[in-house]
Structure formats: structure tokens, C-alpha cells
Amino acid sequence: MRLLQWEALCAIVAFALTETFILVPGPYAMALFTFIAQPLFAIVAIGYLRKVRADLRKRGL
């Protein structure tokens, strides 16, 4: 079972946008990073931590 598939795919998109901004800084790249990549990273982190928490609870920790 691929438990972290959508999180990983979101992270790939966010990394790509972040890399674009780092290499070619400009207002549009900055907006993509600020308003899309950063929230995506936050969603990824929340999704990951929720699954880790569920996993730990399942194990009784």
C-alpha cells in the first residue's frame, strides 16, 4: 500500500516551483512559491504527520 503517494506528488510539485523561484527570481516565480509551493509544503507536512500519528496510535504509542 502506497500510503504517502499524494503527499509525495504534492511535494514534487512544490519542490519544482521552489527551484524555479530560486534559479529565476522574479515576481511571478515569487508568487508561485509564496501562494502555491509554501501552502503545498504545509499540506504535505500535515498529511504526513497525520499518518504518522495514526500509525503510532495504531501501535498503541
Partner 1 sequence: MSADNGSQDRDGEVASGISRREVLLTVGGVAVAVVAGAAIWGGLEFYVNKQHAIGSGLNVTYRQVVMVLGTLACVLGVILSIRTARTRFDDVGTARKDVNFGVARVPALVFARLVALMALIVLPAGAVFLANYHTFEGVHEVRGCASCHVMLPMVNDMRDPGSETLAALHYKNKWIAKDQCYHCHSDYGLGGGLEAKMTGFRHLARYTTSTYQEPIKARVKFDNNNCLTCHEGTPKWVAVESHVESHQELAANKMPCLDCHGEAHPTAAQRTPGSSDYSRLMERMK
Residues binding partner 1 (CB under 8 A): 1-5, 7-9, 11-12, 14-16, 18-19, 21-23, 25-28, 30-31, 33-35, 37-38, 41, 44-45, 48, 51-52, 54-55, 58-61
The least distance separating partner 1 from the CB of residue 57, rounded to whole angstroms, comes to 10
The least distance separating partner 1 from the CB of residue 38, rounded to whole angstroms, comes to 6
**Are 7 and 48 contacting, i.e. CB atoms less than 8 angstroms apart?**
yes
C-alpha cell at 40: 503545498
For residues 17 and 12, give the distance between their C-alpha atoms in angstroms, rounded to a whole number: 9
> What does the DSSP 8-state code read for residue 52?
H
